[in-house]
Amino acid sequence: MKIDFYTVFWREMVVLRRTFSKFFASRLVGPLLYLVAFGLGLGRSIQMNGGSYMEFIVPGIIALSAMNTSFSAVGTNLNMSRLYHKTLDEYLIAPISAGAFVLGKVLAGTVRGLIASLIILVLAFLFGAHLAVNGWFFLVVVLTGFLFSALGAVAAMVVNSHEDMANFSTFVILPMSFLCGTFFSPDRLPQVFGYVINVLPLTHASYLLRALVSGQGMLPLSLAVLAVYAAVFFAAAVAAVRKVR
């Protein structure tokens, strides 16, 4: 298991190294636009909980970027590999377990999510945001990347066309991007929305990161929610790979 997952992870890192500049540039554009438009433009006159709007949205954008990057790194690639390139067959005929395969893919997706988050963190400092970053902060980013990578793996294994994969993003990932405490506090929405939003994983990632950078400390319940989502999505991805034959 140990070597097997590393082999899958190794392949992903070889490709990441080779295409790093392209990956870096693509991960820079979106957050940069968010920071300029919402942080500097729209947010200049807005105060949130006594701090600047920039400081409010940076944790949200980090959670959002970890989600998007990790989900698409695993979801899109694995779906293409299964349906179009058929490179998944190479792993299916190899003597490795479904668990090792999923772990390798998901860890690689997590690494990409973490890099995307670091890019935003550096940008935010350059834009003048004051954020208290510690080890817990990175743990939450890693957990966020891991759970959305695993969700990407589940989607890639069960969705049967590239078009439906895009639809999955539109109906699941996109609404979370905007509603889960990324750009505004969900408390402002009608309560019925609040109930739904509070069970979604990105909400807890945003809450946790915001609490950590503002010095409020850890939110154990949110951390537990993320851990449970990560475990459930990972188990579902392993089951989906086992079932693919």
Partner 1 sequence: MIEIRQLAKQYGSIQAVDGLDLIIDVGEIFGLLGPNGAGKTTTIRMLTMLTRHSGGSALINGYEITRDLSKVKKEIGVVPQHMNLDLELTARENLELHGRLHKIPGTERRQRIQELLDYVELADRAQDLAGKFSGGMKRRLMIARALMHYPGVLFLDEPTAGLDPQTRRKIWDLIRRMNSEGMTVLLTTHYIEEAELLCHRVGIMDRGRLIALGTPAELKKMVGEVVVEALNHGDTEYRFFAGREQALEYAGSLAENVAIREANLEDVFVELTGRKVGD
Q: Could you tell me the smallest distance in angstroms from the CB atom of residue 6 to partner 1? A: 8
The CA angle 244-110-2, to the nearest 5 degrees, is 65
**Nearer Cβ to partner 1, position 81 or 214?**
81
CB of 237 to partner 1, least distance (A): 19
Amino acid at 197: I
Positions touching partner 1 (CB under 8 A) are 3-4, 7, 10-11, 14-15, 18-19, 85-87, 89-96, 245
Q: Which is nearer to partner 1, 95 or 215 (CB)?
A: 95
Nearer to partner 1, 7 or 76 (CB): 7
* Smallest distance from partner 1 to CB 10, Å: 7
Sign, CA torsion 235/138/174/156 = negative
H or E stretch including 61?
helix 53-80
Asked if 143 and 219 count as a contact pair (C-beta separation under 8 A), the reply is no
CB of 86 to partner 1, least distance (A): 4
Q: Pick the closer one to partner 1 by CB: 6 or 127.
A: 6
Pick the closer one to partner 1 by CB: 77 or 117: 77
Question: Least distance to partner 1 from the beta carbon of 193, Å?
Answer: 41
What's the Cα-to-Cα distance from 177 to each of 60, 68, 83, 92, rounded to whole Å?
9, 8, 27, 34
